[in-house]
Amino acid sequence: MKKLLIPFAAVALLATACQQAPDAAKAETAEKQDAAVGNGATYTVDATASRIAWIGTKPIAAHNGDFKLSGGTFTVDNGNVTSGSFVIDISSIQDFDLEGKDNEKLIGHLKGPDFFDVGKYPTAKFEITSVEALQNDTTGTHKVSGNLTLKDSTKNVTFPATVTVTDTELKATANFNIDRNEWGIHFNNKQSLGDNFIRPEVNLTLNIAAKK
């Protein structure tokens, strides 16, 4: 079974080797759309086996970590995903490249009002609006679109993904970049800040597992 997820050790190596977002598909962004309504069997997200890895960069450094999922479901009809959503536990954010007080400082900042403001918005949500099969495409098996809600902003994003479905299990992997400015996260996003400039592009690697 093909997987696109970069192992966390490799992610850490990549993040320290470059100071810009990894080369990945750029998610297309649009305004919020109606969520898909689908019939079929229900597959429940396995939160213990699902993660969303992230990489953020600036001219002199890069950081990488992950988020856990707190739940979600998909509907599958005749082997095709017809609808679904999952909840991201933003308060679970981790960083893998720093230790001790440096790690605590970075995580505290990411959880604060400059970024995710988890005191007000402890979770984020992705809700499928469409899933389109791709033919002979090296980027994935499907084109997935969905409403991504971060903090108090919702945008529709479209990206390639590899989706596999069996009678008992669903797996979805994807690797793409988003622009945090689209969700109103503007902290240090001006290049005039020099070494303090934080690139708006954030790399996300989804590894989602669900069971029937």
Residue 186: predicted pLDDT: 95
CB 199 within 8 A of CB 58: yes
Residue 9: predicted pLDDT: 40
CB 69 within 8 A of CB 87: yes
Residue 164 parent element (H or E) = strand 153-165
210 in the Ramachandran plot: left (φ > 0), alpha (ψ -120 to 50) or beta? beta
Two tokens, residue 79: 């082997």
Residue 101 parent element (H or E) = helix 100-111
pLDDT tens for each residue of 115-129: 999 999 999 999 999
48 or 13, higher pLDDT = 48
Residue 11: predicted pLDDT: 44
CB 20 within 8 A of CB 57: yes
Instruction: Walk me through the domains of the chain, giving residue ranges and CATH numbers.
Output: 8-211 (2.40.128.110)
DSSP structure string for 71-93: EEEEEEETTEEEEEEEEEEEEEE
Residue 155: predicted pLDDT: 98
In 3D space, the residue among 65, 69, 64, 21 whose CA is nearest the CA of residue 48 turns out to be 69
Q: What is the pTM of this model?
A: 0.88
Residue 15: predicted pLDDT: 40
